[in-house]
Structure 1
Amino acid sequence: MAGTISARQVLTPQGWLANGVIAFDDAGTITAVGNEGFDPVQAVGTLLPGMANLHTHSFQRAMAGLAESRGPQGADDFWTWRQVMYRFLEVLTPEHVEAIAALVQLEMAEAGYTSSAEFHYLHHQPDGTPYADPAELSQPIFAASAESGIGLTHLPVLYTYGGLDGRELKSGQRRFGNTVDEYEALYARIAQLAAQMPADFRLGVAPHSLRAVDRAGIDACMALCPEGPIHIHAAEQVKEVEEVEAHLGARPVRWLLDNCPVDNRWCLIHATHMDAGETADLAASGAVAGLCPTTEANLGDGIFPARDYLAAEGRFGLGSDSNIRLSVAEELRMLEVSQRLAHRQRAVLTDDSTRSNGRYLYERAARGGAQAIGRRAGTIAVGHLADLVALRDDVPILNWPQPDQRIDGWVFGSEQRAVSEVWSAGRHIVRNGEHFRAQAIRGRFALAMDQLMRAL
């Protein structure tokens, strides 16, 4: 699998490299970055470090269109959307999970993602009965990754309670639920299966949220995974913040910072509703804020305090979450545009050294996403994985003389498919804008959707 890639412009940590050549070995690790051997005939246009998708629930992609009608109460929010999701889960089989996950990973790759972290809370049969194999529904995610070639970090979720008062899970949540003992068995089985995965596979843990896991559950997750990523939902909804404060005496992000060893292994998903102190302290912790701007907008969650968080040198990455849309550019654009609306300014998220709004956001999201999923990637440098994305150069706004403007053109101006090539740990998975197994994966997804539509 070792190879070389020539590109007319390469975004490196030191800046843009013209007529660059990237070499990588059989393990998919970059061994050289320079100019020697540049091939102008085979060269791609603009080569960027790959982007990690740090938060996805793959199965929700198949729900697109099911939850966009106003409910009978006259107002919709996250909680009414969740009821639609619960009904959808009643008909989902392992075969559906695999077909949907493969399609999602294909669409991610074609959008410019090179790796994905599956925040996986779907564990049991529709009525909540465990499968004989506790990892029955993790295996379809693994199989999808093997077919799509995308880099995978798997985050099995511990989900124990229906709320902070410790109430039992309701019918729609029973496919998620595990005690700590059951979760430990699940994690052990997944760790066993991980031995069969590619070398760039990573395994972490995900205590779902303070609504669904108590302190003992969080401690158990940390004990199981002393080195890998730790992800948790936090402060996505105002109602959640109020409930956590009422039961635990502190806001969600504050409680986590004061009671858990939050550091660079942690990723707080959403963290939408933080006060000034939480914002500054999360930035100082070295953890990553896992932002999902398109989903957060779709669900009406609110606006992340990005201007202040990034001014405090906070780290962030991107997730597609519900997968209502799959687009690196749209996530970055939504993040910036929300700040423009909130602050009535332009080019809010950048600095004097970079100036380019698109490049500033892209570089930081790539680095933060790689950190969050435990992947040595996010920058084009020797020793890092060859997670690489090439932009098309046959579209005028993607071929400006100044390469920073090419990223700005992609993020803020391109409605066309902008990605031409994608490599994940050296695996060439998108070629001329299309995933190399597109036909087979799309065909199986179409069959799965036909079955789901009939069942619903």
Structure 2
Amino acid sequence: MPMVDFTLVARFARVRRCLYLATIKLKDRLDPGVLNRWLVSELFIACGVSRFGWRWWAREQLVEITPEGFIAGVGPAGETSVDFPHRPVIPGMPNLHSHSHQRALAGLTETRTPGKDDFWGWRDLMYRANRAITPDDLESIARCVFIEMVKQGYTVVAEFHYLHHSPGGDRYAQVDEMSQRLWSAAEDAGISLVLLPVLYTYGGFDQQNLKGVQKRFYNTLEDYLILLDKVRKSADGLGNRGYGLAAHSLRAVAPEQLATLDRVSRVDHSGIPFHIHVAEQLNEVEECIALLGARPVEWLCREIDVDHRWCFVHATHVSRWELEAMAESGVVVGLCPTTEANLGDGLFPAAEFVALGGRFGIGSDSQVCSDPARELQLLEYGQRLKYHRRALVMDSDERHNGNALVHRAVAGGSQACGRSLTGITLGAPADLIELDPDSSRLALRSADETLDSWIFSASDNSIRTVIAMGREVVTEGQHAGETLRQNNS
């Protein structure tokens, strides 16, 4: 193993805690009732519009926002001569898969391990780092990465959360202690949080007991349902909070547990998203065939009545039958291109999946990157390298790759976050991003060319303003918490 100083994890958390101390009261200083009208010269309207005959952009639009942070109306601004201060504006990007605690490890695992350096070696390093994380550390690290996400254009994040207990596996006095720290961090950062407590029971398909730091993840099904109910109560009635169910993987839960969890989800948690890691590694596929008699996605599609509520995270190694089954069932595939590249996972056949009508969204996963534009760029570039062609993650009747990628990632990500309304449309959360038209990479572009350039050309952060649930959390590229910190220093 490389000599990684894992005290850096705790040091990172302490530095972040000091750096963003001013954000602790951010929720009290951002009044969602202040902002209620946005005049937009160029508004990306494709999301939620019929596939045929759509227009990607609308000019001179008025977006009205309720005090609760939802879109009350979208339409022409009228003939009155008005100033359009915001242009161009696109929907906020959902981040459908995040392990916030792994942000403290980003960049510390690039020393080669002896022998074959792959996902499993990285996982051992990640487990070792997890031993050091306290509730205070988790809150600080999560606050840091959530702020980074918002500045880059993510406005809602689905947190795949399995760091439930103390380092030795003992329960905290408050069983949802770590979950509460994530809620608090998201409030401070101004990002909407969909919390996905994860059922993690076994250490492999052979149902071996969890060992070492894995004991932090362990819950019986009964204990998990108690935790899930607490998370549900914390989210009830709050527009910037949501929740869902999650099973870590077919390696970590028994088939009968997954079947029970699916039944419970339909009875007690109707319409709530259900996420699972699946087919990320070839070893996982081979072991699943040996012990369950089918490939992971195949087993899920045959044995569980998966539908639009489900998000299959990664699904890297799949057959043509599995692609067709996922597309037909309405499952969202959660793609995390920078993490998958960092770990050497492989390439999901996204071009084939999109051609079948499949749905996908993007996630930051291990936090080596917090920029949705970079995720979308790498997603498309990976397909180009695989198939030796260009402009692949789109339909043949679509012209601009950037428009198509953003439309699909927003629609699929919103679905995976349990949001029934997508994009900039009546009743949807008011999540808006204003790209910076003065950026050297975006200047002198048409609206269509702007998204192409944002994804495939921009090297700096080309985001000027971010609105999340009606609150302006990023202004002139600066997060509100950073501004408070500077003013108080």
Same fold flag (TM > 0.5): yes
The CA distance in 1 between the partners of 2:329 and 2:74, in whole Å, is: 32
Shift of 1:29: 1.5
**Conserved 8 A contact 1:200-1:375:** no
**Conserved 8 A contact 2:60-2:77:** no
**Conserved 8 A contact 2:56-2:403:** no
Corresponding residue of 1:12: 45
Listed one character per residue, the Cα deviations across residues 195-221 of structure 1 (whole Å, up to 9, x for unaligned) are 4x7324111100110000112221333
Listed one character per residue, the Cα deviations across residues 1-49 of structure 1 (whole Å, up to 9, x for unaligned) are 2511112210113421112221111121211112226885461121001
Corresponding residue of 1:373: 417
Matches within 5 A, 1:108-127: 108-127=149-168
What SS is found at the alignment partner of 2:216? coil
Shift of 1:404: 1.2
Shift of 1:226: 3.0
The CA distance in 1 between the partners of 2:233 and 2:320, in whole Å, is: 43
What SS is found at the alignment partner of 2:150? helix
Listed one character per residue, the Cα deviations across residues 162-204 of structure 1 (whole Å, up to 9, x for unaligned) are 0111100011211101111111121122223234x73241111
The CA distance in 2 between the partners of 1:396 and 1:46, in whole Å, is: 15
- Aligned counterpart in structure 2 of residue 421 of structure 1, from 459, 465, 468: 465
- The alignment yields a C-alpha RMSD, in angstroms, of 1.8
Query: What amino acid is the match of 2:44?
Result: L
**Conserved 8 A contact 1:377-1:387:** no
Corresponding residue of 1:219: 259
Query: What amino acid is the match of 2:43?
Result: V
The CA distance in 2 between the partners of 1:401 and 1:298, in whole Å, is: 32
Corresponding residue of 1:446: none
- Aligned counterpart in structure 1 of residue 456 of structure 2, from 412, 421, 430: 412
What SS is found at the alignment partner of 2:441? helix
The CA distance in 1 between the partners of 2:308 and 2:283, in whole Å, is: 28
Of 431-440 and 359-368, deviating more is 431-440
- Aligned counterpart in structure 2 of residue 160 of structure 1, from 201, 208, 222: 201
What SS is found at the alignment partner of 2:160? strand
The CA distance in 1 between the partners of 2:305 and 2:314, in whole Å, is: 19
Report % sequence identity.
43
What SS is found at the alignment partner of 2:391? coil
User: In the alignment, is residue 289 of structure 1 matched against residue 333 of structure 2?
Assistant: yes
What SS is found at the alignment partner of 1:429? strand
The CA distance in 1 between the partners of 2:191 and 2:485, in whole Å, is: 13
**Conserved 8 A contact 2:191-2:240:** no
Corresponding residue of 2:28: none
- Aligned counterpart in structure 1 of residue 362 of structure 2, from 318, 321, 324: 318
The CA distance in 2 between the partners of 1:123 and 1:155, in whole Å, is: 12
What SS is found at the alignment partner of 2:280? coil
Unaligned 5+ segments in structure 2 are 1-32, 47-54
- Aligned counterpart in structure 1 of residue 249 of structure 2, from 209, 220, 223: 209
User: In the alignment, is residue 128 of structure 1 matched against residue 169 of structure 2?
Assistant: yes
Query: What amino acid is the match of 1:336?
Result: E
Q: Relative to structure 1, is the Cα distance of residues 380 and 193 closer, same or farther in structure 2, using a 3 angstrom cutoff?
A: closer
TM-score w.r.t. the length of structure 1 is 0.93
Query: What amino acid is the match of 1:179?
Result: T
Corresponding residue of 1:402: 446
**Conserved 8 A contact 1:369-1:378:** no
Unaligned 5+ segments in structure 1 are 443-456
Matches within 5 A, 1:36-435: 36=77, 41=83, 43-73=85-115, 75-195=116-236, 198-222=238-262, 223-224=264-265, 225-435=269-479
Listed one character per residue, the Cα deviations across residues 126-180 of structure 1 (whole Å, up to 9, x for unaligned) are 0111112110110110001111111110100000000111100011211101111
What SS is found at the alignment partner of 1:54? strand
What SS is found at the alignment partner of 2:325? helix
**Conserved 8 A contact 1:283-1:309:** yes
The CA distance in 2 between the partners of 1:434 and 1:287, in whole Å, is: 36
Q: Relative to structure 1, is the Cα distance of residues 323 and 441 closer, same or farther in structure 2, using a 3 angstrom cutoff?
A: farther
Shift of 1:227: 2.3
Q: Relative to structure 1, is the Cα distance of residues 378 and 418 closer, same or farther in structure 2, using a 3 angstrom cutoff?
A: farther
TM-score w.r.t. the length of structure 2 is 0.87
**Conserved 8 A contact 2:157-2:192:** yes
The CA distance in 1 between the partners of 2:422 and 2:119, in whole Å, is: 31
Shift of 1:371: 0.4
**Conserved 8 A contact 1:159-1:177:** yes
Q: Relative to structure 1, is the Cα distance of residues 39 and 291 closer, same or farther in structure 2, using a 3 angstrom cutoff?
A: farther
Q: Detail structure 1 runs of 4+ shifted over 4 Å in the superposition.
A: 37-42, 439-442
**Conserved 8 A contact 1:7-1:45:** yes
**Conserved 8 A contact 2:161-2:197:** yes
**Conserved 8 A contact 1:6-1:39:** no
The CA distance in 1 between the partners of 2:485 and 2:247, in whole Å, is: 31
Corresponding residue of 2:72: 31
The CA distance in 2 between the partners of 1:39 and 1:78, in whole Å, is: 58
**Conserved 8 A contact 1:359-1:408:** yes
**Conserved 8 A contact 1:202-1:375:** no
What SS is found at the alignment partner of 1:329? helix
Q: Report how many aligned residue pairs link the two structures.
A: 441
**Conserved 8 A contact 1:270-1:291:** yes
Listed one character per residue, the Cα deviations across residues 283-332 of structure 1 (whole Å, up to 9, x for unaligned) are 11111000000100000000000111000010000000001111111000
Shift of 1:440: 6.8
The CA distance in 2 between the partners of 1:170 and 1:439, in whole Å, is: 44
**Conserved 8 A contact 1:21-1:34:** yes
**Conserved 8 A contact 1:63-1:85:** yes
